[in-house]
Structure 1
């Protein structure tokens, strides 16, 4: 399913169904999560399980499935010891999604499924917390390089579009967005927010009042 198929349906006012969480579903099914990079490295040893997760979402009605690349930028993989496997990890993740699409079309030739490459602005957090590790906070150049690298790997691996997921940090958002747009692929932008106790809509990050 090319992105034009998705756009045509959206322009016509039709409903397009997106899958659920990929990393969280991998974790729920028993895949080992990395303490530093969460679900990022899991693609390496769980490609068959990952394909099954995607296939189950398709069978449940998803028109768009999302590659397990949410936490696999160089920023996340380097502290986990995978600096030399960034491209491999992301290609394996995309291949698992593409394989699921191929399997689905074998049994349902009329199904048209789009594969999105996930790109988040996730950065290393302090061990045992959900707070950004200020000692390892990347510079703007490091962010741009890492996001740009991942976006290009996703494009080269064959995704139909890039899905920016859980965007909420105002300094990192435009860097991630520019990296995605620079690929020339269609980009979906997903924001995350929450309500403060006084009813205001603020940053999803519970440690910031933005």
Structure 2
């Protein structure tokens, strides 16, 4: 989709949803798909390691999700930070170029996908009009806790020494680079606390970021974000930012999503984005996925109607979800009986 669509942040997502049938389909788990394809992500850089070692696998995952019906794909930059790359011995210029590379790979995948679309593919309207569904690229930005790789992205406990200014200084150059790399929007993901949401909102304003953004938070109780901060308070920060065009939840068990949508809807009229994990829980210390209340792989598709009725309009998956998950969501949403 590139720069073909909108105009202003306030109309950007409205126009996208109008051109997409009233809903958007995000991709699913990224790092877990890279691992399934053989990538070794046992590294502080996690999925960003593949920008160095296996860019072809990054492109392959993007294409697999596009084939499954996604029309929003996220870049492999969730764990990609200038500080993280420099700790690996890369120069500042090299680190910044790796951030840009994450967007370039996603753009390449979109171009490849659109080029090979045919009139008989899912990507054309059932009326035979032959108009392609728009595809957006979201530049992914993980939290400060994701960079630390100590599990704090799942607790929001950064300690008293980490202030609002600490977080703004940490994220500033990364936001600048990704905002100017060719993506359609920025996805601030797995935000664990109110402080980091405020840091992002202030950065968008201070840096005059022109492309839209969304904020998505994570929760482990279905009531608050993982730090214990109120989801309503966090969503209100997103609502107050003119550059934030959607707010929602990611990396959270599916069973909590409905209630969180209702809480978010109380404080904002902006589109709501939901992309839960598989229903398992992640132990950030042992780096292992664990059963959640005895369940593994909750059935996403059975939840989608309920989420849509509650007010969500952008749907996808997070950790441990697959192209098959996204295919099921896309088919359900496109069904005339849905």
Native 8 Å contact 1:40 1:77 kept in 2: no
Q: 2:49 aligns with which of 29, 41, 44?
A: 41
Q: 2:211 aligns with which of 182, 185, 191?
A: 185
Unaligned runs of 5+ in 1: none
- Once the 2 structures are TM-superposed, how far is the Cα of residue 111 of structure 1 from its aligned partner? 4.2
Q: Which moved more, 1:183-192 or 1:23-32?
A: 23-32
Do structure 1's residue 149 and structure 2's residue 173 form an aligned pair?
yes
Q: Which moved more, 1:79-88 or 1:109-118?
A: 79-88
- Once the 2 structures are TM-superposed, how far is the Cα of residue 80 of structure 1 from its aligned partner? 4.0
Q: 2:151 aligns with which of 103, 116, 130?
A: 130
- Once the 2 structures are TM-superposed, how far is the Cα of residue 125 of structure 1 from its aligned partner? 3.4
**Corresponding residue SS for 2:27:** coil
TM-score, normalised to structure 1, is 0.81
**Corresponding residue SS for 2:22:** coil
TM-aligned CA distance change 1:39 to 1:105, over 3 Å: same
Q: How many residues align?
A: 200
TM-score, normalised to structure 2, is 0.52
Native 8 Å contact 2:16 2:134 kept in 1: no
Q: 2:114 aligns with which of 105, 108, 111?
A: 105
* 1:101-155 CA-partner distances (Å, limit 9, x unpaired): 00011112734311110112233436xx5247969x7554442233221112112
Native 8 Å contact 1:76 1:122 kept in 2: no
Q: Which moved more, 1:165-174 or 1:79-88?
A: 79-88
Q: 1:118 aligns with which of 132, 140, 160?
A: 140
- Once the 2 structures are TM-superposed, how far is the Cα of residue 6 of structure 1 from its aligned partner? 4.6
TM-aligned CA distance change 1:180 to 1:40, over 3 Å: farther
Cα distance in 2, alignment partners of residues 122 and 29 from structure 1: 27
Native 8 Å contact 2:191 2:197 kept in 1: yes
- Pairwise CA RMSD: 2.8
Aligned to 1:61: 69
Native 8 Å contact 1:36 1:80 kept in 2: no
Do structure 1's residue 166 and structure 2's residue 208 form an aligned pair?
no
**Corresponding residue SS for 2:73:** strand
- Once the 2 structures are TM-superposed, how far is the Cα of residue 93 of structure 1 from its aligned partner? 1.0
Cα distance in 2, alignment partners of residues 170 and 58 from structure 1: 33
Unaligned runs of 5+ in 2: 7-11, 119-131, 230-338
Do structure 1's residue 93 and structure 2's residue 102 form an aligned pair?
yes
